[in-house]
Each structure stands twice: as structure tokens, then as C-alpha cells.
Structure 1
Amino acid sequence: MEFSTILMIVGIVCIVASFFLKDTSKKLEQDLEDLSISIYQETNSLKKRLKIIEEELLLEPSFTVKQDTSKKQLEAYKKSAQATAPKPAISANNSQQINEILVSQVIQLNKQGYPVDEISKMSTLSKEQIITILKSGGNR
């Protein structure tokens, strides 16, 4: 009988002690939530920085992106930069000196199934130039 009373007393003491001890799981949950929020904020910050860098790479090197620049202003700048870009010079055999990047872009767009008209609009090359590139397979 004495063993069972000792077990009951130890059980009661443990129950009473549990009311006075701090709950560490709440602190652990709070720390985990704080960590999750900070990771989310850092991820959003990195996404914003990456978006700004991508926009800078699509524009001329002299252009600087400001925080308050809207998408409409960026699109207007891109269009004006394309309109004022110098056209490649025509050589003696009536084929223009076309950048290798444009050639590979035209070939890739053709492989993706874009028609010559759309490729012409996207690459600022004439339809004849695009047809010439596709016939030659990108070789000069």
C-alpha cells in the first residue's frame, strides 16, 4: 500500500509543478514563426532585386532604373530605344550584316512555330532577311 501512495503523491506533485513551469513549445512556435516571416521578407526582397536587374538587362546600358519608374514608362522607353537604334549596314551583295544573336533568335523562334511575320515584328528584321536566315540555316 505504501508504494501506491508514493506514486499518487509523485503524480500530484508533477501535476502541480506543470502549472508553474514555462511552456517551451510556445516559445519554439514563436521563434519558428519569426524565422518564417523573415525568410518570406528576404525572398520578396530578392525577387524585387532580380526583377530590377532583369529590366536593366533588357534596356540600354546607360539607362538607370529608379524605384518609382512605372511599367508604362519602361515600355515607352524600350519602344523609343528600338525606334532610334541604328540599322545594320547593307553590304555589296545586298545581305545585311546581322548579329549572331539575332540569327540564333530567329532560328529558335522558327523552331517554336512562330510565323515569319511575327518573327519580323519581334526581331526588327525584314521578312526577306528572316527568310534568308532560315534558308541558310544561320550560316553566312
Structure 2
Amino acid sequence: MDLSIILMGAGILVIIVSLFMSRSKTMDADTEDISVTLYKETSQIKRRLKVIEEELLLEQPTFKVPSSKPTTSGIHQILVSQVLALHKQGYTISQIVERSSLTPQQIEKIIATGGKLL
């Protein structure tokens, strides 16, 4: 009788251990799948970010080196270049006013003349 109880206990123990082993293998496989998926998604995000950075670098406006003398109306050439660049980028006059120290009338005049002979 003692031997049969020991064998039954050992059998139950083996069954319990086998259940944990199969779950452990399943968890390892799931962890590996998640790891591979995370690696793929991270690499996709890095590629997309690189493309966006390249697009932003290409779209930056190029500015000529402005002369250091102010124009005839007292508006510095740097401000004129900035206003024209912002206008080309699609900013409204009110948005340009917020970004510069000029009045709406001065900005309209710069845009109308293209920055020449102010």
C-alpha cells in the first residue's frame, strides 16, 4: 500500500510538472513573437522617421545672405526676407504680424512689392 501511494503521488507530481512545462514553452513562444513584432514595428517607425526628416530637410527655405543695410523705409532686409519666406509658406498676414515686429500695413507693402524699393 505504501508503494502504491508513493507511485500515485509521483504520477500526480509528474502531471503537474508537465502542465507547467507546456505553459512555460507557450509563454516562451509568445514572448519571442512579441519581441519580433516589437523589433519590426520599431524598425518601421525608424524608417518612417528618417523619411520625414529627409522631407523636412528638403523643404527648408534657403535664404540669401541679406545685406546689413536697412531698406529705404527703415525695415531691415532680414525682416523683409522673413516676411516673404513666411508668405511663401502660406502664413496669413495676421500670423506674420504675430511672428514679426511689423505692422499689417508694412507686411502688405512688402508682399505687394516683393521686398523691393520699400
Q: Point out which structure has higher relative CO (alpha carbons under 8 A, 6+ apart).
A: 2
Question: Which of the pair has more CA radius of gyration?
Answer: 2
TM bin (shorter chain): 0.3 to 0.5
TM-score (norm 1): 0.40
